[in-house]
Structure 1
Amino acid sequence: MTAPRDAILARRRLTNRLIAAKDAARLRPFFDPAVTVIVGDGGVISGAEAVIAAFAAQFADPDFQAFVRTPDAVGLDAAGERAAERGSWVAVSRSQGEHIAGWYLAAWKKVRGQWLIESETFVTLRG
């Protein structure tokens, strides 16, 4: 069986690849239906369908290239059912390269053996 930390890091790598491929629909299984995302400017997106719609809107921008999250650490609760991932993120556009960036914290929960993102908070520190 895959260790929880390794499973979460693998899922993060896959979300980065799907974002770079601009494949919003395939991101859906990574989010809890009631996910809450606080974006870099402090705005709030509630619910998986709204998160996927936000990704699709960004992917429609021809200048958009990717959001890359780079984990620094993953912590796990004693029961092995919840985890926190922290790291840095960067938004990349074709015209500006890496133009905004900051730190993030993601809360993960295990549902039927699969790790889902329960919430994410992104803080813009550059850009």
Structure 2
Amino acid sequence: MTASADLAIRMRRAAFNRALAEADLPAIGPLLALDVVMVTGTDSAVIAGRKAQLMAWKREFAAGTRMIYTRTPETILPSPVEPIALEHGHWEGVAGGIPQASGRYCAKWREVGGAWVIEAEIYLTLA
């Protein structure tokens, strides 16, 4: 499971990054668990649930000069006993081609019906 989980999660993360760059809201929904939780990096706002997160991205996509966020996974640690994994990496927000914020993140993934979905993400703003 380790190699296939690692590759599958990296592919799902790449799909999420593409959806953010292209402001493709319908592509984001299938990547999120129904009860997904995100804790933002700067103000530690908690966005709970797929619907709430999709609404947040919709607002973000409507901004005049919007941030494009990219998450770059460094490690994926699959559980040997459950269909879950932990992703750790670096994130960056760019607006108008200029980096605006960056930091570290962790994401918990779960395999549901053969597809990996994000259950939780927490971000730390460092720059």
State the TM-score, normalized to the length of structure 2: 0.93
Mapped pair 1:73 → 2:68: no
Matches of residues 38-77 of structure 1 in structure 2 within 5 Å? Answer: 38-41=39-42, 42-77=44-79
**Alignment-derived partner of residue 14 in structure 1:** 15
Query: How far apart, CA to CA, are the structure 1 residues paired with 2:48 and 2:82?
Result: 25
5+ unaligned residues in a row in structure 1: which ranges? none
The sequence identity of aligned pairs, in percent, is: 31
Q: Deviations over 1:71-102 (max 9, x none)?
A: 110001013500000000001101x6111010
Note if 1:23 corresponds to 2:24: yes
Across the aligned residues of Structure 1 and Structure 2, the Cα RMSD in angstroms comes to 1.5
CA distance in 2 between counterparts of 1:4 and 1:53 reads: 29
- TM-score with structure 1 length normalisation? 0.93
SS at match of 2:47: strand
Instruction: Count matched residues.
Output: 125
CA contact (8 A) 2:65 2:95 kept: yes
**Aligned letter for 1:104?**
Y
More deviation in 62-71 or 29-38?
62-71
Runs of 4+ in structure 1 over 4 Å off: none
Amino acid at match of 2:74: D
Q: Distance in 1 between matches of 2:117 and 2:11?
A: 12
- Structure 2 unmatched ranges of 5 or more: none
